[in-house]
Structure 1
């Protein structure tokens, strides 16, 4: 009898899938898949709403944002054609002031709009230069003139008062 069991199917059935129950089996068809996909997309959309609200609140309040007034330099310390580096609006935000004429000043945040490399004033070229990827910016408008940058440098609002040059704000970027 022991020899009869060896090499034989243990049950009378000739189907090895006898333990799989096809009734109440969970299946997913195209309609169920699309419902699941739409539900997941809806859940993702709803979960991002708080962050969108925070971003919208920040963007809506940019016009009302108050910046500190910071003395950059004395008028007699900056010659026409020279530049001064300073930090504005925060202590880690590097900026650059250029004196273009007797009463003409321009200041920009000096992080290139391409990959945030530092921007330098080139008196010889009369341009702001980003040496990382050979980006050039017009000093009067901050607009890129050559290289990979596509956006203008953020401009800092300047005020001259009592023989000193002050930074008083940052202009909002116009698309």
Structure 2
């Protein structure tokens, strides 16, 4: 295509003259950011129903009572001894400790640092996590040494007719 004087109809220094812009979708930075913000908004709104379901479940957990599960008979657990059991499900390992004649405590026995198993050491009267030398107070479940910063989740126990039952998981409150 040349004009009357045999000249090229565009500047020869323009290197984009050969791009066909017909029906080409333009996405500049502003358009890209609008698309990105729109996608993020759609994603955020689409997660709201699941967040509501999770919040509803978490709100009810502090009062959630599970079917009472028999741990052991009182006569089978001597003062200072412990019994391992699973509560509230078969995948949740727990430990019951008889501290005195009428005092029982139970905790989920996964360390709050990295979920290693926690063991009752009768001679030291402490619960110990061997992975990173964490220690927990048996009376409160609070960490006394090592890297754990949160107490062990407690399990409420009930003694009825000579048997010890797990009733509910006490939730950690910050």
Gaps of at least 5 residues in structure 1 are: 1-11
Task: Give the secondary structure class of the aligned counterpart of 2:61.
Answer: coil
Separation in 1 of the partners of 2:122 and 2:47? 47
CA deviation string 1:91-141 (max 9, x = no partner):
221110011111111100111111111110011221111111111111111
The SS at the match of 1:27 is coil
- The equivalent residue for 1:83 is 82
Q: What is aligned with 2:3?
A: none
TM-score by length of 1: 0.84
Secondary structure class of the residue paired with 1:59? helix
Residues 37-48 of structure 1 aligned to structure 2 (within 5 Å): 37-48=36-47
Distance 1:16 1:166 in 2: 82
Residue 132 of structure 1 pairs with residue 131 of structure 2 = yes
The unaligned stretches of length 5 or more in structure 2 are: 1-6
1:97 maps to 2:111: no
Indicate the larger mover: 59-68 or 122-131. Answer: 59-68
Counterparts of 1:64 and 1:153, CA distance in 2: 18
Which residue in the other structure is 1:7 paired with? none
CA positional deviation for 1:69: 0.7
State the 1:30 CA deviation. 3.6
Aligned to 1:66: 65
Distance 1:45 1:16 in 2: 43
What is the aligned length? 164
TM-aligned CA deviation for residue 18 of structure 1: 5.0
Deviation of 1:86 (Å): 0.9
Name the structure 2 match of 1:119.
118
Question: Within 1, Cα distance between the matches of 2:15 and 2:65?
Answer: 77
TM-score (ref. length: structure 2): 0.84
Hey, what does 1:158 align to over in structure 2?
157
* Residue equivalent to 2:4: none
Partner of 1:54: 53
Shift of 1:64: 4.1
Q: Check if 1:34 corresponds to 2:23.
A: no
- CA distance in structure 1 between the partners assigned to 2:17 and 2:32 by the alignment: 28
